[in-house]
Structure 1
Amino acid sequence: MGDTTPTYDIFELFGDWRGPAIGLMDLDAFFASVEQLDHPEWRGKPVIVGGLPEERGVVSTASYEARPFGVHSAMPSAQAMRLCPHAIWTHGHFDRYREMSAKVMAILADETPYVDQVSIDEAFFDITPGRFSRENPIDIARRIQRRVSELGITCSIGLGPNKTVAKISSDRMKPRGLTVVPPGTEASFLEPLPVRAMSGIGASAEESLKNIGIHTLGQLAAAPTARLTSVFGVNAEAMRLRAAGCEQSSVSAIDAPDEVKSVSNERTFAHDLTERADIEAALALLGESVGRRLRRKGLAGHTVTVKLNYAYGKGRSAQRRLPHPTDDENIFVGVACELLDKIWSPGMPVRLLGIGVSGFAEQGSVQTDLFCDLDERGAVASDRRDLSVAVDRVRERFGSTSVGFGRAARFGDDLVREDKFLSQNKPRD
């Protein structure tokens, strides 16, 4: 793996650490790093994990050797091939990535019981002195990095008094970086950074903030809340406090149930879909996976979202709130097909399609009526749900491709493969 010596940036520290200590551990170019670990002949060479250009694929992860050529995650594979034609390509080995991720998360669990896994390669952890250990948080973070490097991969860590600061600081030095922002220094650390550095501020919000003269997090923190309402709505004050470093964060104990905000599935197609029948069939296939994961987690949601892209980076989405929660694709896929009328016109090419279910926290507010069947949880179910559950069991025992419906034949094997990971397990750079 080459040099695995960490680099450090301690923003400011006087005496002992006093106050919260929240870390964000981010595995460096995780998928590509595992591939280089397992293929020693690939070390020091540009490696790209993702779909091939001829498959209309997308880059999942690029090694640090590929990045100087401009290759990055979520880039169309065809563009990555043009930028770095000599790169080594692989579809990836996702069981192996899960195995390595589990080993890393076990290291965090050894150090503290307070760990929130954000994705397959990223997790928050709480090492506040006195909460579980009296050791200096910087020493713990350094030990985590050393133990991860013993696995043959590396990580970068941001350490600060809350999750926002930890997240931003984890991106400050990569790879093998440790950026420390002790309590009391968070405001001065955040002040000069561009607003886009803070999660929750995308391109649209960044442009809106620029239009009112706000370019840095310091300017955002100093702005009157009323001035920010046009950009963030009811979240204006919360975003201002985050930019000021005043966020109050908590990290749950490992054995606490995960808070899942949504379950979704999306896919980019080798050839654009232009016929409504094909789009609806694709939604049904994607919905099967969403329904299966909802039932596996014991979740039922109120909100259905459908998303489509008609060109790279350009798309539309629509959603609808249901009167009753559901985990039944025979219900929510039908709603998604109705939502197509809002975002799709006949002949419009569909490059990417997605479907998701959310609104799980609302399950306590169920109102019954005379025209739908509710199960014991108050969730709405169709007369075909039992069939879906039976299919779930067959697939769990014999594999995701062991049984399917005829609509899968429209797309070949590519679409019916199970998603690489759940939405919360998507890798990041």
Structure 2
Amino acid sequence: MIKPKPKKGRVIFHIDMNCFYASVEMAYNPDLKGKPLAIAGNPEERKGIIVTSSYEARAKGVKTTMTVWQARKLCPELIIMRPNFDRYRKASKEMFQMLAEITPDIQPVSIDEGYMDVTEAQHFGSPLETAKDLQQKILKELDLPCSIGIAPNKFLAKMASDMKKPLGITVLRKRELSQILWPLPIEEMYGVGEKTAAKLKKIEVETIGDLAAKDVYQLRQVLGINGERLKNRANGVDTRPVDPDAVYEFKSIGSSQTLPYDTIDEAEISKLMDQLADNVERRMKRKNAAGLSVQIMIRFHDRKTITRSKKLQSYIDSKEEILHTATELLKKHWNQEPVRLLGITIQDVDEKQNLGRQLDLFTYEKEASKEKLYTAIDTLSAKYGENVFKKWKENNRKDEELSRTSFQKDFLDDYKH
């Protein structure tokens, strides 16, 4: 249950684990401490991408999303390890359990970060004392460093946690925005990506302060409703609650992979499409979900990337249905240029139990005595097709295989168990 905003204002923490995967490996093997370490998906091939790296590696120029060969060129002595998701998941669970000892109002947003609403947790001491104690507890018991941002809302807490790393604690108050936040380059604002930053610079928004002062009408012209939202954030306005149930919300499930080499070989491309559809089906079954749209992503040899999607008449969840639609989209939109990366995503996703709950009304058709029910059924059938009334079977098969995607949310409530 989301608590109403208190009259005196909220106190929000953003907990951000520092170099999480690398830090977990160092905690597991102390001999790695102080050395340049990187975690990569596939160290042996070009498609191996750096997921995270230690501060020693970052000092040499190694960055997240950099390819393995680029990282080794910058840092020949770099130690590269494959990710160990069991290990990271266990550490994440233990970390979030420590957060839960302070407040139940926790919103995990990924395996290594989350928000806490500590407004009602003043019995632990002042917010700053609480943050210091929590940081030291995580460091002492798990041997893992973290940074904590303290602010009156989620956006400012997130910005604050990024200001001091590793092992930083930053308090960011609204009255300090002009001195601390506004001078920062617009690229450093959470929620502003490379493309958004480029659009903002075209209208002379170079800093967060420029954004805070910019005319909202002009921002709407360039960025739509998001322009107004970003302006509000720049002025320290963010009413979003810390929602413990947000972890259960997901609207899409996908899988993407870089090919070992750029190719126009249809057999290679078809093989990868089959693998991606299999990955998506597996993740759908793990979540016991179904989706109503299929999207493909194609990245070409020159890094140009396109996405194309198709809305379906009924929910799907099987590999065959996913692959059929994805292949149709590929044939229609692939220009025969060499392909570097492919992705398949199912969108408009919902859990089957929710779909079943929404459709339970129609199981009473035989007992219905009023014509309104039959009219409703006919109307919905005409609009969505008869398959909408198909009752989904419960899929109780547990898929123990870990996802290759490192930021899946399907384990973020582990700490509650």
User: What is the TM-score with the length of structure 2 in the denominator?
Assistant: 0.81
Alignment partner, residue 125 of structure 1: 116
**Which of 406, 419, 423 is 2:404 aligned to?**
419
1:27-106 mapped onto 2 (5 Å cutoff): 27-50=17-40, 51-106=42-97
Determine the structure 2 residue equivalent to 1:149. 139
Q: Which amino acid aligns with 2:387?
A: L
Matched, 1:269 2:254: no
Query: Structure 2 matches for 1:395-410, cutoff 5 A?
Result: 396=399, 400=401
The structure 1 residue matched to 2:159, chosen from 168, 182, 189, is: 168
Which moved further from structure 2: 138-147 or 317-326? 317-326
- 2:329 equivalent to 1:339: yes
Aligned CA RMSD, in angstroms, stands at 3.1
Q: Which of 254, 269, 276 is the matching residue for 1:279?
A: 269
What code does the residue aligned with 1:280 have?
S
Following the alignment from structure 1 to structure 2, what is the Cα–Cα distance between the partners of residues 276 and 217?
47
Residue by residue over 1:252-271, the C-alpha shift from the partner in whole angstroms, topping out at 9 and shown as x without a partner, is: 236x7622232111122223
CA deviation string 1:106-149 (max 9, x = no partner): 11111110111111111111112x37857422222112111110
C-alpha change, 1:182 and 1:105, in structure 2 (3 Å) is same
Q: What is the CA-CA distance between 1:74 and the residue it aligns to? A: 0.7
Query: Alpha-carbon deviation of 1:375?
Result: 5.6
Deviation at 1:376, TM superposition (A): 5.1
Q: Is the 8 A contact 1:225 1:236 kept in 2?
A: yes
Is 1:298 the counterpart of 2:288? The answer is yes
* 2:101 is aligned with 1:107: no
Residue of structure 2 aligned with 1:206, choices 186, 197, 205: 197
Deviation sequence 1:67-117 (CA, Å, 0-9, x none): 111101110111001000111111122211111111101111111101111
How many angstroms apart in 1 are the aligned matches of 2:410 and 2:35?
A: 26
* Distance in 1 separating the partners of 2:386 and 2:318: 12
What amino acid is the match of 1:137?
A: P
Aligned sequence identity (%): 33
Is the contact made by 2:12 and 2:153 (CA closer than 8 Å) also made in structure 1?
yes
Check conservation: 2:106, 2:242, Cα contact below 8 A: yes
2:404 partner letter: D
Indicate conservation of the 8 Å contact 2:255/2:405, yes or no. no
Alignment partners' CA distance in 2, 1:420 and 1:235: 28
| Pairwise CA distance, 1:231 | 2.6
Q: 1:336: how far off? A: 1.9
Given the alignment of the two structures, is residue 241 of structure 1 paired with residue 232 of structure 2, yes or no? Answer: yes
Structure with the higher fraction of residues in helix conformation: 2
TM-aligned CA deviation for residue 230 of structure 1? 3.3
Q: Tell which deviates more after alignment, 74-83 or 282-291.
A: 282-291
2:107–2:247 contact (8 Å) kept in structure 1: no
CA distance in 2 between partners of 1:314 and 1:423 (Å) = 26
Who is 1:382 aligned against?
A: none
- The Cα of 1:187 is off from its aligned counterpart by 5.8
CA distance in 1, matches of 2:168, 2:384: 58
Find the partner of 1:349 among 338, 358, 365: 338
- Equivalent residue for 1:229, pick from 220, 243, 246: 220
Instruction: Report SS of the residue matched to 1:19.
Output: coil
Q: Distance in 1 between matches of 2:410 and 2:112?
A: 8
TM-superposed CA distance for 1:325, in Å, is: 3.4
Per mean C-alpha deviation after superposition, the further-off stretch among 42-51 and 335-344 is 335-344
**Kept in 1: contact 2:149–2:171 (CA 8 A):** yes
Q: Which runs of 5+ in 1 are unaligned?
A: 1-16, 380-385, 401-416
- Compute the displacement of 1:176 (Å): 0.7
Distance in structure 1 (CA, Å) of the matches to 2:272 and 2:156: 40
Q: Report the AA paired with residue 419 of structure 1.
A: R
Say whether the 8 Å CA contact 1:305–1:317 is kept in structure 2: yes
What is the one-letter code of the residue matched to 1:209?
Answer: L
Q: 2:23 is matched by which residue type in structure 1?
A: S
Tell me how many residue pairs correspond in the alignment.
Answer: 379
C-alpha offsets along residues 277-317 of structure 1, whole Å, 9 cap, x if unaligned? 43233223212222232233233333322112224854222
Moved more, 50-59 or 148-157: 50-59
**1:84 and 1:234 mapped to 2: Cα distance?**
43
Tell me how far apart the structure 1 counterparts of residues 219 and 349 of structure 2 sit (CA, whole Å).
29
Alpha-carbon deviation of 1:373?
Answer: 5.3
Per-residue CA deviation, residues 162-186 of structure 1 (Å, 9 max, x unaligned), is: 1111111111111111111135444
CA offsets, 1:326-346, max 9 Å, x none? 333332332222222454222
Q: Which residue of 2 aligns with 1:12?
A: none
The residue that corresponds to 2:373 in the other structure is: none
Match of 2:306 in 1: 316
